[in-house]
């Protein structure tokens, strides 16, 4: 086969795949940003008193919910309600405010509700200081002694797995601004008496801070922007490396020559691979930015796999310029290396995508959606592979029948007598006399197979 197969000069239009992909990404992010932040009916019912429902909204992490009512006289008084689900036999939930310049755990004045192993509940106030960060136990503390925020009327209630803690808090106006209130929330799985043990260090736990305007219900947080970046990072890598690159491989394997021969396969293969590589590289770069901006966590395996994938995928893309010529004696070894590395990268990409989904810990929708994508790709590959084997077996059968017919014809053909240069008919393709019936006197012999280039 001519090497033009690798460098078709066809002017067939190149499909602008990146535009529908980016449009899909934009619509997904818009839907995410506009998703309802209203609290659940169960939480709303638990905080409604005397027919009056406080303001309430879902918080951005841990499936937590927050409600409040403002009473502003000489001091700022707020009734606050915080709810989260405690699915285990024990655990704790906490909500608090921080008088510092940004929302963070250290320095937070909090109320903590604890679910004990015996099924009972308790709630108290705590002051999360630097000593906690150093490993000292976090124990109940009376916050009114510091002439700071005052918690009163502490209560805890539960309905099924949903636990709600509430209090009335007085906020000194010189330290707190309800238009920019730094609040923090948390959920943990273990408690030792009145001491809440260390919470998990997932992204959901680390991002549980926010600056909220209690008058407008609008909240802002660094974690929220990081979550959007993580979403973009995940979608770009799933679409680019997890979908487009495998599609390009499928096209090259089954449309190059066998079982289907499409003269534009190389152009389509290159376009799909370039778009997939570009989207994946952008997602990879966003992941590096997220990793460098993190102060509290690192995901070493995910990071190492991502760097490995980017490095060797880039090496694969360099084949556009660096691959040997079709007539080069080393070309067959290069082809084997290129194919083996490509298949290995596809497997590694799938593993790392599942790693990323596990890190994000979203609901199971994204995980099952990607499983569905892998299932579809596997089904397409299996269908083409079955077609390949069916066509191969059919071709083999036809070749055997043709060879059998040729052998039978050769056996029935007359053979010449006498000495080699003497009388009688010459052998097939001989250069002497009349030649084989149906051939020419100076016959060229049987047709030769055309060697592939």
Q: How much is the pLDDT for 443?
A: 42
Q: How much is the pLDDT for 433?
A: 39
Half-sphere exposure of 358 toward its Cβ, with a 13 Å CA cutoff? 9
d(C-alpha 364, C-alpha 298), whole Å: 23
| pLDDT, one tens digit for every residue, the chain (453 residues) | 443 433 443 434 444 445 555 555 555 554 444 444 788 999 999 999 877 889 999 998 999 999 999 987 777 899 999 999 999 999 999 999 999 888 888 889 999 999 999 999 999 999 998 888 788 889 998 876 556 889 999 999 999 899 999 999 998 888 889 999 999 999 999 999 999 999 888 888 888 999 999 999 898 887 777 888 888 999 999 999 999 999 999 998 899 887 888 889 989 999 999 999 999 999 999 999 888 877 667 788 999 999 999 999 999 998 878 888 878 888 888 888 888 999 999 999 999 999 999 888 766 788 888 999 999 999 999 999 999 998 888 888 888 878 777 777 767 666 554 444 444 333 333 333 344 333 334 444 444 433 333
d(C-alpha 189, C-alpha 196), whole Å: 9
d(C-alpha 149, C-alpha 110), whole Å: 10
Beta-strand relationship, 150-159 and 65-72: unpaired
The CA distances from residue 284 to 228, 230, 237, 247, 354, in Å, are 15, 11, 7, 20, 15
| Model confidence pLDDT, tens digit, residues 216-229 | 989 888 777 788 88
CB 45 within 8 A of CB 54: no
Length of the chain: 453
Residue 183 CA to its chain's centroid (Å): 31
Q: How much is the pLDDT for 395?
A: 83
Q: How much is the pLDDT for 122?
A: 96
- Of 211, 69, 97, 91, nearest in space to 156 by CA: 91
- Of 326, 328, 325, 312, nearest in space to 280 by CA: 312
Beta-strand relationship, 108-115 and 195-196: unpaired
């Amino acid at each position: 086969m001519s090497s033009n197969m690798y460098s078709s000069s066809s002017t067939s239009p190149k499909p602008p795949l990146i535009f529908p992909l980016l449009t899909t990404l934009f619509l997904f992010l818009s839907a995410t940003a506009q998703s309802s932040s209203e609290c659940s009916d169960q939480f709303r019912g638990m905080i409604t008193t005397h027919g009056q429902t406080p303001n309430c909204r879902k918080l951005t992490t841990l499936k937590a919910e927050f409600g409040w009512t403002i009473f502003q006289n000489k001091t700022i008084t707020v009734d606050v309600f915080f709810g989260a689900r405690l699915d285990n036999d024990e655990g704790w939930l906490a909500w608090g405010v921080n008088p510092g310049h940004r929302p963070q755990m250290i320095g937070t004045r909090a109320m903590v509700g604890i679910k004990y192993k015996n099924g009972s509940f308790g709630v108290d106030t705590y002051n999360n200081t630097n000593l906690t960060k150093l490993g000292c136990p976090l124990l109940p503390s009376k916050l009114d002694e510091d002439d700071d925020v005052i918690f009163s009327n502490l209560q805890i209630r539960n309905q099924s797995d949903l636990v709600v803690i509430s209090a009335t808090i007085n906020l000194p106006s010189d330290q707190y601004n309800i238009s920019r209130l730094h609040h923090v929330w948390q959920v943990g799985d273990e408690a030792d008496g009145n001491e809440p043990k260390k919470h998990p260090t997932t992204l959901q736990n680390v991002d549980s801070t926010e600056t909220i305007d209690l008058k407008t219900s609008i909240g802002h947080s660094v974690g929220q922007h990081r979550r959007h970046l993580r979403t973009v990072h995940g979608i770009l890598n799933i679409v680019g490396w997890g979908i487009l690159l495998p599609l390009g491989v499928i096209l090259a394997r089954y449309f190059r020559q066998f079982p289907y021969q499409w003269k534009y396969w190389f152009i389509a293969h290159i376009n799909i691979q370039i778009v997939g590589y570009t989207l994946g590289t952008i997602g990879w770069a966003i992941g590096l930015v997220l990793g460098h901006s993190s102060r509290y966590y690192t995901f070493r395996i995910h990071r190492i796999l991502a760097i490995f994938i980017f490095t060797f995928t880039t090496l694969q893309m360099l084949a556009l310029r660096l691959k040997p010529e079709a007539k080069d004696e080393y070309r067959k070894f290069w082809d084997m290396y290129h194919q083996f590395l490509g298949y290995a990268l596809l497997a590694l990409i799938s593993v790392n995508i599942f790693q990323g989904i596990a890190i994000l810990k979203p609901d199971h929708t994204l995980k099952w959606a990607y499983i569905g994508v892998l299932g579809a790709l596997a089904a397409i590959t299996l269908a083409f592979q079955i077609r390949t084997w069916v066509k191969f077996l059919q071709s083999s059968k036809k070749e055997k029948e043709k060879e059998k017919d040729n052998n039978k014809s050769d056996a029935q053909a007359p053979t010449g007598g006498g000495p080699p240069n003497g009388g009688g008919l010459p052998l097939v393709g001989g250069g002497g006399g009349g030649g084989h019936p149906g051939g020419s006197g100076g016959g060229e012999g049987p047709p030769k197979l055309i060697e592939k280039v």
